[in-house]
Each structure stands twice: as structure tokens, then as C-alpha cells.
Structure 1
Amino acid sequence: MNITRFGRPMAAIAIAATTAIAFSACAANEQGSSTSDLTGTLVGAGASSQGSAQEAWIAAFQTANPGVTITYDPSGSGAGRETFIAGGSNFAGSDSYLKDEELAGTFAACVEGTLPFEVPAYVSPIAVIYNLDGVDELNLDAPTIAGIFKGTITKWNDPAIVALNPDAKLPDAAITAVHRSDDSGTTKNFSDYLLQTAPEVWDIEKAEDPFPYQSGEGAQGTSGVVDAVKNGTGTIGYADASKAGDLGIAKIKVGNEFVAYTPEAAAALVATGKPVEGRDSTDMAVKIDRTTTDPSVYPIALVSYLIGCNEYQDTAAAELVKAYFSYILSEQGQLDAQANAGSAPLTREVADKALAIVAAVK
């Protein structure tokens, strides 16, 4: 029999998860008719990519549980993890899994000696967005994207871009590449794509939350990048696809084809990820292989995690986290995120594993 780190049988955890799903899905659908006696305040902070999904999740959960107040500050993945580690929030959202050095420290909200859990909750493509008059379609490959954001490709009529877009009227105009100025899991995932697929250009040791080069223009948060691209001329950036709006979105070369993002293609990428080695059984961090040549897979996507305590100092917070996260990970919660944020619902296999971990929280 498989035993978790707290000694609870997995079968018992699965039963608890099923109960939590039933409660949460029912609560989300009742839209205010619930007799839930849950009360209290839950504070979260972190990935701005989760912003639209969190808005939808919070609205549905609070409608079904009127005694509960949930806040989520989309301050960025790095800031969200720092806030949670310091005890300033009950949970974090992060587009990067916890670093080894973070796991080696202490977590103020958690019982001393226990580790946090992290489970995937939000999967979304990262769009390469642009604003260039007269260019409605743009094809890019990894080396060209890397050159643009590193600052070695500086004009829109650069031969590398022209070769990929022979029918486009590309102007002799400067490129302004906009990146995240804050520590961001979106940057880490974008940078990881370029490191894996164009290492001869994107010559860094490893992808991390800070943007790795002193080039281009920095902007705070997803909204900052989108606004900078929208309000500029000849601009290009990267952002969670749900926030792209009416900006141009580049197609990315995969194998011999140029592919547009879809939630399904992003989910296909994440489904092939491998568990990070050396992690606790309640840590579902995955490493993604972005070198695929399969055009049904979109290679620039992020998996955004929910991070909380396996055992909370505050037992009331534990109950709220269990209920809220169980709704998020339920089929209804994932459909709500897809409808409001364009994300890709987790596969049931992944969701069920995450639900079992959340069900064991205490």
C-alpha cells in the first residue's frame, strides 16, 4: 500500500478528494443557493498569468460560500512566492516551481518541519504579441525570436524575419522588444523555450524568473507588457495568451510548420512533462521538453502552480485552502478557467493526483 509523507493511505486521500470535489463542484454550480457554513478570509498572491482565472474562481467560490472572502494579488510569481514564504499570504500562484534553495528554507505559514505542496492548476500558452502597422500575420522561429529579444536583431526588415515572411511588407523600422521587468514565471518559461530550441543564440546557463539580458524595454507584470506593446510602434513582447486582446500574435515554427497557439496544443506540451527529480510526493513540479517537432503541440506554454502548506499553523486557513483548491481542480473549476481565461483544462489524471494532495492538507 502506498503511504504519503503523513502516513495517510492513498485510498483514503482519494475518498477525501472525491468528497471535496463533490462539495466544490456543487457549490460552484449553485451560484448563491449554497447553505455552506464556511467562513473566513483567504489571502493569495503571485502569478499574474492566473489573474483572469483567479477572478473567475473567486467569484464562483464566494457566490457559493458567502461567508468566505478571498483576495488574490497578481504581483508576479517571484513576489507571490516571497510573500507566501514570509507568511504574508495563505497560498501562492507561481509559473515557476519552487527552487531548491526556497525549499531548503522555512515557510512561516506552515507547521515547522513540514514542506509545502505545489500542484498544477492553470495551463496556458504564452503568446508572442506584436504591434506592427500593415503586418497582420507574422511567422517566427526560435533563433529569430531569440535574436529579437536578445537585441541582435533590431530591424523589422532583418533578413532573418524576411526569410520567414516572404509575402509580408516588413518596414525598415526599429524593433522594440518588451520583456517583464519583474521576476516572472512567464519569463522563465519563455526563456526556457529559447534555451532549449535556440541555445546558440540564447546562450544562458539556465532559465530563471528574471529576464537574462540587458536589452529591450522592461514592463511590470503581464498587463504592463501588453500595454507597452499596444501603445508602442514596432513593438513585440511575450505574455499569457489570455491577455493578448486584439494585438497581433505570431505563429511559431514547430517542425516544418508554423503553428498558432491553442489551449489544447499547450496542454499536450505539459502532458509530456517529466517530474522534477528529488521532490517530495506532494510536489508535482514538472520539467517540460520544448524541442518537439510535432505541429499539434505548441512549445511556448506555462504550467502555473498553486503552492500551500501541507500542514498549516492556522487550521481555519487549511480548511479554506482545501475547499477552494478542490473547486479549482475540479472539472467545473477548470472549465470556469477555460471560459474566462482561455486556459487548457488539466487532464483528469493530473487533476486527480493534485486533488489527492490537496485533500490531505491539514
Structure 2
Amino acid sequence: MNTPIRRALVPGVAALALLLTACGGGDDDAEASSGSGSSEVDYSSLSGELVAGGASSQQTAQESWLVGFQEVAPDVAYSYDPVGSGDGRTNFISGGYALAGSDAYLTDDEDELSQATERCNGTAPIEIPNYVSPIAVVYNVEGVDELNLAPEVVAGIFAGEITKWNDPAIVDANPDADLPNADITPVHRSDESGTTENFTDYLDAVAGDVWSAGVVETWPTEFGGEAGNGTSGVVQVVTENANTIGYADASQAGGLGQAKIGVGEEFVAPDAAAAAKILEVSPRVEGREDVDLAVDLDHTTQEAGVYPIVLTSYLLACQEYEDQATADLVKGFISYVVSDDGQELAAQDAGAAPLSDELQEEIQGIVDGITAAS
């Protein structure tokens, strides 16, 4: 008899805002301890309240940045509410957030880019990749410790066309695995999700003939499967139920199996170093201002050692704010995030892929130009 799927519990309250309240006086060594020699920011001189929010994918990294930032800027109260990418962009455009996290760059499909430009006093919004992490294809199959999946097989599983674990398409790539004659249960996000958008962007790019739903933030119901709320919900459902497979930020995959994904002639594991390489082989979005570092990820790359299913999350900010205090706080926080210390914290605590030295320097040059309206 098949064991019924146990669904993840859906939280009954809104995500808790992360808040560090200012305490103590200045730190004479604050600027030096930032870890970024190119920053023009004197962290110890900063004070006030800075409100941000958005992508929940950044939550663990944001928690680490909050702690680290308070050490160098103890008189700043910074809060980040992980309400999701869509609400993050909306609240940034409306002026509710001074900066926002988003798992998708701004576009004019819904006038977001033009509205953000208007919100930023007519200047193009800043978009910088600050958090890069592999999206792992997680699975729970007894006795299967390693699993290789070709791109079209991943698409076939989540589109409901490959339904058995011992399907020849899976067996051929895993000759030494003891794959059961059992139904595959795909698990997806139940909420609107940047992770889902990035995952379906990969499916659409590598196997658009199999994955017919395109790039979506909300999972298409016609493909069935089971659902979990948020990354933690997907991980919970896969953990508690045999023969399941899902997708989740690799840093939150826990003890689940994580499939290697086919790239060229090899299968690549979802580690941070392999995820970081995709930024090196992917083009920038065309027609953007110099302050906009949005990237069109090349999911179809054949480059050796590149993990192709990646979540690239952005910080959205303005080149120009209404007041100098907000401009200074935004400049200070982003400078810390992209500093060596900030990137190391995100790597250690959230499994993020550290930005390259070249990208750090480019971002810092953009951030140093943040000003207030005259």
C-alpha cells in the first residue's frame, strides 16, 4: 500500500521581520573591520533606521549581515522582512523600503522598471547580484545516495512525464544505483516564489519541448505533485515522504540527497563554487544602465564545472534618495554586504557563492555613487 503524503504545515502568521536595534557608541575601528578596502564608508559615523525587505531566499544571509553590520555600525537599526520577491519589489517602488531583495530583476512587463526609475527621482535603479546560491534538486529514495539527472529528465519528472524511479531515462545515467519500481512524487512550492521562477527558467531553457509552462513564479497546477509552503515546506515534505523529489535552495536542503545535474559530458553537484561560475559565463541584460548588473543566466552552458540551476538574488536600491541620511545608510549597508567580511559570512552561514573580486569592485564603484537629491 502506498503511504499517504504528509503535507508541510503552512505558517499562520506573516514572516517575522529581522531587526537589530542600535546599541552602544561608535567603534573607532569600524571602517577597517568592514573587510572592504575600496569602500568610502565610515561605518562608525552612521546612525538611524534602515528598513528593507523582500526575497526570503536571502533570509539566512540577511541574518548574518545584520549581526556583522551591527558590529561595524552599532548606531544603525536595520530590519529586513522576508516577505518574498514580489512584495519586496512593490514596497521598494512605493517607497516603503529603502532597498529590497528580489530573486528576479526588474522588467517593464508590469512597468516595474519605469516605476522604480520614477521612485528613484528619475534615475535608473541600482540592481546588484548580492546573493548567489545553487538550487538543489533534492530527493528521498531509500538506498540511493547518489543520483545523476540529465536536464531533460529533470524536466520530464516535474512535468509529470517520467513517473517511475526505475524509468530507463534515470537508470541509464545511474547504472550502479538501486532504483525502485516506485512512483515518483514531485514536490513544488505552493506560494509565489522566486525560487520557482529560477527553477522553471532552467526547465524552460534546457527542455522547453518537455516543460510547456514557461517561466512562472506560481507552480502550474496541471502538472500535479505535492506542495510545500516556502523552501522549508518543500524540504519538510520531501524529508517525511519516501520516493519524493523537489527543488530547494541548497543551503536549506539539510540531509536530503542532492542530485548532480548534467552539463555537457559531466554531472555537476550543487555546490557554491560551481554555482558562482555561472555568472562568469552568462551575459548581462541588454539595454541597461551601468548601475544595473542584471544577468541573463546561461542555463544551457556546456562549460565544465558550472552548476546550471542557480538562484541569483539582487539588492535593489536608488542612485539618488530624498535625504542624505538614507543615502548614507543604504551606501553603508550594501558596502558591507559586498565586502570580503560580508561575503564570507553569507558563504559560511547561508552557503552562498562569494562574489568574484572583479564583481565586488564593480559593485562598490556603483554604491560609492549613491547620493541625495540636491
TM-score band, normalised by shorter chain: 0.7 to 0.9
Q: Distance in 1 between matches of 2:155 and 2:221?
A: 11
Q: TM-score scaled by structure 2?
A: 0.83
User: In the alignment, what sits opposite 1:73?
Assistant: 81
Secondary structure of the equivalent of 2:312? Answer: strand
1:351 Cα deviation (Å)? 1.3
1:354 Cα deviation (Å)? 1.1
Closer/same/farther in 2, CA of residues 292 and 213 from structure 1, 3 Å limit: farther
Q: Distance in 2 between matches of 1:247 and 1:148?
A: 18
- The amino acid across from 1:156 in the alignment is W
Q: Distance in 2 between matches of 1:284 and 1:259?
A: 26
Q: Distance in 2 between matches of 1:157 and 1:35?
A: 57
Conservation of the 8 A alpha-carbon contact between 1:96 and 1:209: no
Q: Distance in 2 between matches of 1:177 and 1:313?
A: 48
CA offsets per residue over residues 217-264 of structure 1, 9 Å max, x none? 232222222222222222211111111111110111112222212212
Conservation of the 8 A alpha-carbon contact between 2:35 and 2:340: no
1:115 Cα deviation (Å)? 3.0
Identify which of 85, 90, 95 aligns with 2:98. 90
Conservation of the 8 A alpha-carbon contact between 2:31 and 2:44: no
User: In the alignment, what sits opposite 2:10?
Assistant: none
Q: TM-score scaled by structure 1?
A: 0.86
Conservation of the 8 A alpha-carbon contact between 1:76 and 1:221: no
42-51 or 210-219: bigger deviation: 210-219
Closer/same/farther in 2, CA of residues 283 and 111 from structure 1, 3 Å limit: closer
- The amino acid across from 1:207 in the alignment is V
Equivalent runs, 1:256-275 vs 2, <5 Å: 256-275=265-284
Q: What are structure 2's unaligned runs of at least 5 residues? A: 1-28, 37-41
Number of aligned positions between the proteins = 335
Is 1:223–2:224 an aligned residue pair?
no
User: In the alignment, what sits opposite 1:121?
Assistant: 130
Secondary structure of the equivalent of 2:137? Answer: strand
Conservation of the 8 A alpha-carbon contact between 1:25 and 1:330: no
The percentage of counterpart residues that share the same residue type is: 53
- The amino acid across from 1:298 in the alignment is Y
CA offsets per residue over residues 170-229 of structure 1, 9 Å max, x none? 22322221222233222222112222211221234x524333453222322222222222
1:292 Cα deviation (Å)? 2.1
1:35 Cα deviation (Å)? 8.4
Closer/same/farther in 2, CA of residues 35 and 188 from structure 1, 3 Å limit: closer
Q: Distance in 2 between matches of 1:36 and 1:28?
A: 14
Q: Distance in 1 between matches of 2:34 and 2:297?
A: 34
Q: Distance in 2 between matches of 1:330 and 1:51?
A: 18
Closer/same/farther in 2, CA of residues 111 and 136 from structure 1, 3 Å limit: closer
Is 1:165–2:174 an aligned residue pair?
yes
CA RMSD, Structure 1 to Structure 2 (Å): 2.2
Q: Distance in 2 between matches of 1:57 and 1:201?
A: 40
Secondary structure of the equivalent of 1:344? Answer: coil
Conservation of the 8 A alpha-carbon contact between 1:25 and 1:327: no
Is 1:104–2:111 an aligned residue pair?
no
Identify which of 305, 313, 322 aligns with 2:322. 313
Conservation of the 8 A alpha-carbon contact between 2:132 and 2:276: yes
1:64 Cα deviation (Å)? 2.3
Equivalent runs, 1:189-228 vs 2, <5 Å: 189-204=198-213, 206-212=214-220, 214=222, 215-228=224-237
